[in-house]
Amino acid sequence: MTSKKQIEEFLSTEKIAVVGVSGSKKKFGNIVFHDLKSKGYTAYPVNPKAREIEGEKCYPDLTSLSGIAEAAVLVVPPKVTDVVVQDALAAGIKKIWMQQGSESKEAIKFCLENDIDVITDHCILMFAQPAGFIHKAHKWILNLTGQLPK
């Protein structure tokens, strides 16, 4: 279960890889990438099928960011997540945020067994500040219903 402390520690990192960024501004990976950059994070796009995204160097995998990225947000299908968490371990990345839809039981288990801090069941856009109106409202509702991490 994700804790408030985990979220705070994840968001205190400055260099975050975003796995699953595409060239389409309508895709969620691209939205997360731009949102984090606009909030002052150094965000690295990761997509094995792209050399660059909107003029920025795109990395094929997390091992290419070994010693650079401190954390990673995953916006990929669960089967891809299973491989990406192994790359994270190889790259020394110990903080993973699995966006809703990216989670897999195997990947979560792998993270827990390998001392990788893993966040699931929450959208990073609700917590990276300042949050947009929709994400702020969603967070308010979760708080009202007692579903926010404690």
Whether the Cβ atoms of residue 50 and residue 75 lie closer than 8 Å to each other = no
* pLDDT of the residue at 143: 82
Residue range 4-144 forms a domain whose CATH class is: alpha beta
Per-residue pLDDT tens over the stretch 91-107: 999 999 999 999 999 99
pTM over cut 0.75? yes
* pLDDT of the residue at 132: 82
The reply to whether omega before 60 is within 30° of 0 (cis) is no
Q: Which residue has the tokens 């965000």?
A: 43
* pLDDT of the residue at 144: 85
- Judged by average pLDDT, the poorest of 69-73, 97-101, 102-106, 129-133 is 129-133
Helix and strand counts by DSSP (H, E) for the chain: 6, 7
* pLDDT of the residue at 134: 84
Distance CA 94, CA 26 (A): 29
